Structure 1
C-alpha cells in the first residue's frame, strides 16, 4: 500500500508487500487515509485476485487513546448519550450481504506500519485498535478484503449496501452495537476525502472500507475505495 507515515516521522511513501503504510500527520479533525491495495503477486489475466483492503492511519493520541483506568465508562447506550464504553469487537454481521465474520485487531508493526488483515483468510475483518471501538464515541474503522488469491472475500458485496441497512457488531463486553447505514460511496484513491471519512466525531460512527472500481493490472491495485458511512442506532446486551 502506498501511503504516509505516522506523526513525527518524515513522509516516505513506498510499496511494502502486505503491510499498509501510514500518513505523516493527522488531519485537523482526526484520521487520515491509507487507501491503496496490498501489494501481492499478480492476479490472473481474466480476474483480479490480489487481496485488497483499505484502512485508517494512526489517529492523534487525543482521539485514539483508550480511557484511563480512572475514567467512568457509561454502562450502556441511551437516547441522551448513545455512546458505549470502550470494548473491542468480536464479530461483524451484515444480513443484507451475508457477512458473518470474526475480527482481528490491526496494529502498528515494528517498522511503523499497520499490518493488514491476513490475506489467507477470506472471511476476516480488521479493526484499527488504536481508534475508537465500535459504539464508542468517535469514528471506528473496519477494513476488509474485497478478494484474495483464492477468490471473493468478506467485503465483496460491501458496495451493495443501501441507506437504512443494519450492521451488527458483537463486542467483548457482550453488547451488540447496531449501526444504521447512512450512505455508501465510492471514491477515487487519487482524490480520497481523508477528513470526511476519518474525522473525529462527537457521536459513535462506523466506517466500513474496502477497495473497488476497476483493477489496474500494472499497478496491481484497484482504483477506488468503497466506504460505508454508518451511525450507532441502538445497543443491546446479549451475554
Structure 2
C-alpha cells in the first residue's frame, strides 16, 4: 500500500516539479518557487524509520550538494529549491530513500540567476559513471549510471521514473534543451538513471 501511495504522489506532482526546474534569467521578473515548512526537515530519519539522504556527489561533473527535502505545497506540487540557490539539490521525500528497493528521485536546477546550477553538466554522464549519496547515518552509497536521456517535458516517461524496481535506483532530473522565454522554463528534461553498485 505504501509503495502504491508513493507512486501516486509522484505521478500526480512530478510533471509540475520538472517544469519548474531550471530558471529564467535573473532579470526576467519570474518569481522563484517559495519553500514551505514541508520542504526541509532536520531529522535524520523518516516517520517510518528510513534513513534520509544527506548529500549527493558526482565526481565526473564536479557536482556536490547537500540534499534538502522536496515536499508538497498547498497545491500538491513539489517545492523545488529556489532559483536563487541554483547549487542546491533536493530529494523528493515521497520517493524511496537511497539504499531501499525502488527509485529515489533527486532534483536540481540546470542554472539560476545567470549561473550554472548543481546539475548543469548532468547531461554529460555516461553509462558506468559514479554517483555517491551519503545518508544521515554517515553511510555512503555508490550508484552507477545505467543511462541518460533528454526528453520533451510533455513526453516525460513517468513509469520509467517512478515505477517500482526490485533494486535501489536513482533518478537525477534537471532541465535541458531550449529555454522558452515565454514560459520561463526549458522545453526538455534531462534524466539520469543509476543503480546501486554491488
Task: Supply the distance in 1 between the matched residues of 2:124 and 2:167 (Cα, whole angstroms).
Answer: 25
Is residue 192 of structure 2 the alignment partner of residue 223 of structure 1?
Answer: no
Kindly report structure 1 stretches of 4+ aligned residues shifted beyond 4 Å: 48-53, 66-69
* Residues 1:37 and 2:29 aligned together: no
State the partner residue of 2:173: 209
Give matches, 1:182-201, under 5 Å.
182-201=146-165
Closer, same or farther: CA 166–144 of 1 in aligned 2, 3 Å: same
Runs of 5+ in structure 1 lacking a partner? 1-6, 8-24, 54-65, 70-85, 235-239
Aligned mates of 2:31, 2:74 — CA distance in 1:
22
Could you tell me how far apart the structure 2 residues matched to 1:183 and 1:173 are?
29
Q: Secondary structure at the match of 1:230?
A: strand
Matched, 1:107 2:90: no
Following the alignment from structure 2 to structure 1, what is the Cα–Cα distance between the partners of residues 145 and 129?
Answer: 5
Corresponding residue for residue 42 of structure 2: none
CA RMSD of aligned residues (A): 2.9
CA distance in 2, matches of 1:145, 1:52: 12
Unaligned runs of 5+ in 2: 34-45
Contact 2:20 2:80 in 1 (8 A): no
Whole-Å separation in 1 of the counterparts to 2:135 and 2:54: 5
In the other structure, the counterpart of 1:175 is 139
CA–CA distance in 2 between the matches of 1:194 and 1:100? 26
Distance in 2 of aligned mates of 1:180 and 1:204: 11
For residues 54-73 of structure 1, the aligned pairs below 5 Å read 68=48
1:142-181 paired onto structure 2 within 5 Å:
142-181=106-145
Larger Rg: 1
Structure with more helix by fraction: 2
Compute the displacement of 1:219 (Å).
1.6
Query: Aligned partners of 2:31 and 2:57: how far apart in 1?
Result: 21
**Secondary structure of 2:19's partner?**
coil
